[in-house]
């Protein structure tokens, strides 16, 4: 899956994943927690399954695993899945899962609840180094199941040439919603829209956080979708759509905000740090600046996205798997991954060095202290896919009605 679309919701995929989780919800250990307990150990090689953004990521992970394998003496093979969710589910259903694998926040609850995952978090030597917000993302039923492998946040991306042509300077970088609306209008020119974003919660949800809301609380135990803060956020987004300051990527013929930005269909977009790879490979001549998203009534706010390194409860070599994960989440490996394919390290000890290496992307990492994650309750991905389909029609829809429906759907998951 391309990194540029990794965080685009797919209703069909979400439903397929949910069905797969349900289908493989039997035949596993009833308690996958170790909490300091004994890990399985054998001389069997490890299989590592990843959902890669491209050749650079596949090579970087393969090389890192090969280095660990050589030093540890344990064989290991990396599989770059064509469809990670599907292939992972098939492996569990056949009781032959990969030993180590990429696992999304949306899949954690399903696999954890049916006993498919090893809850090894408390045994990580570097547990205290991970960002607290990322630890929350992979904690289920009070247990940290897996190590966050990296993360991304959303910020505002500005086309430097368009900005200058509109007579704007650094002093005009928007600090508030009103200022964002104002500069977006000034950037409307030559058929180009001031702000173009992907029409989905995974982008507009940043406004919700800025207003003091989100679809659920931080632990995903309470639905808060139709809160006044969220209504206020979508009201603002609808206002920008109707006054012409903002358009959705689909409405300008682009597949996502980064494509619209790269093709100069939009002078600004809201995207994650994965945009850097797309700009470098597809639009190398576009000069751009990353700045913090404007503050809402509740202050700074944005969304974060992350995956973890899952370990199968049925792995015959859990001890080696844990050792591998600790190596892959080490400072050296994570900085290597950052250089290879643009991710941000999930450990705080790598922050200062990462910022020195990538000063132009500092706003993304600075957001680690205030970013909020997407809901992780089992079935949330289906609800978000439904919400995204409605947000696509936000310009002519009632935000409260949209969010009331989402609230009802989320509450149903908690019963």
Q: Report pLDDT digits (tens) over 256-275.
A: 999 999 999 999 999 999 99
pLDDT tens readout for residues 345-391: 999 999 999 999 999 999 999 999 999 999 999 999 999 999 999 99
> Whole-angstrom Cα distance, residue 356 to residue 171?
24
* Tokens found for residue 350: 């790598």
Match domain 3-152+305-373 to its CATH number in 1.20.210.10, 3.40.190.10, 3.80.30.20, 2.40.50.140. 3.40.190.10
Fold of 153-303+377-414: D-Maltodextrin-Binding Protein; domain 2 (3.40.190)
21 compared with 51, residue with greater pLDDT: 51
Whole-number pLDDT of residue 204: 98
* Tokens found for residue 161: 């040439």
Instruction: Give phi and psi for 219, each to the nearest 5.
Output: -95, 5
Burial of 141 (0-12, 13-18, 19+ CB in 10 A): exposed
CA distances from 221 to 86, 90, 168, 217, 411 (A): 27, 29, 44, 7, 9
Q: Is the pLDDT of residue 401 over 60?
A: yes
Q: Cα dihedral sign for 344, 348, 353, 356?
A: positive
* pTM of the predicted model as reported, rounded to 2 decimal places: 0.89
Domain ranges of the chain: 3-152+305-373, 153-303+377-414
* Tokens found for residue 395: 């310009």
Q: Is the pLDDT of residue 12 over 70?
A: no
Q: Are 207 and 233 in contact (CB under 8 A)?
A: yes
> Whole-angstrom Cα distance, residue 386 to residue 406?
8
Buried b (16+ CB within 10 A) or exposed e, 68-93: bbeeeebebebbbbeebbebbbebbb
pLDDT tens readout for residues 299-309: 999 999 999 99
């Amino acid at each position: 899956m391309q990194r540029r679309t990794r965080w685009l919701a797919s209703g069909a995929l979400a439903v397929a994943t949910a069905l797969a989780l349900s289908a493989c919800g039997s035949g596993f250990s009833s308690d996958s927690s170790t909490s300091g307990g004994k890990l399985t150990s054998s001389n069997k090689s490890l299989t590592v399954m990843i959902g890669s953004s491209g050749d650079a990521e596949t090579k970087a992970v393969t090389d890192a695993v090969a280095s660990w394998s050589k030093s540890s003496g344990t064989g290991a093979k990396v599989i770059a899945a064509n469809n990670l969710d599907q292939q992972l589910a098939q492996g569990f259903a056949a009781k032959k899962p990969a030993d180590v694998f990429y696992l999304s926040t949306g899949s954690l609850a399903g696999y954890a609840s049916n006993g498919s995952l090893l809850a090894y978090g408390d045994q990580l030597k570097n547990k205290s180094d991970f960002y607290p917000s990322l630890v929350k993302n992979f904690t289920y039923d009070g247990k940290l199941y897996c190590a966050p492998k990296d993360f991304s946040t959303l910020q505002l991306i500005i086309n430097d040439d368009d900005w200058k042509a509109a007579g704007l300077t650094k002093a005009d970088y928007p600090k508030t919603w009103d200022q964002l609306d104002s500069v977006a209008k000034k950037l409307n020119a030559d058929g180009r829209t001031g702000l173009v974003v992907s029409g989905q919660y995974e982008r507009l949800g940043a406004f919700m956080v800025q207003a003091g809301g989100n679809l659920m609380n931080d632990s995903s135990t309470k639905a808060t979708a139709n809160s006044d803060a969220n209504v206020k956020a979508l009201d603002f987004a609808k206002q920008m759509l109707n006054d012409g300051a903002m358009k959705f990527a689909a409405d300008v013929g682009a597949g996502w905000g980064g494509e619209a930005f790269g093709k100069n269909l939009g002078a600004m977009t809201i995207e994650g740090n994965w945009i850097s790879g797309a700009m470098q490979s597809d639009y190398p001549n576009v000069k751009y600046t990353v700045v913090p998203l404007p503050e809402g009534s509740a202050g700074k706010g944005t969304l974060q996205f992350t995956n973890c390194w899952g370990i199968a409860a049925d792995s015959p070599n859990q001890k080696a798997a844990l050792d591998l994960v600790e190596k892959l989440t080490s400072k050296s490996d994570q900085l290597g991954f950052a250089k290879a394919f643009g991710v941000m390290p999930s450990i705080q000890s790598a922050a200062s060095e990462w910022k020195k290496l990538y000063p132009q992307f500092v706003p993304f990492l600075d957001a680690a202290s205030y970013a909020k994650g997407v809901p992780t309750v089992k079935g949330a991905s289906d609800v978000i896919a439904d919400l995204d389909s409605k947000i696509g029609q936000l310009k002519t829809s009632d935000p409260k009605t949209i969010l009331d429906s989402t609230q009802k759907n989320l509450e149903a998951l908690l019963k």
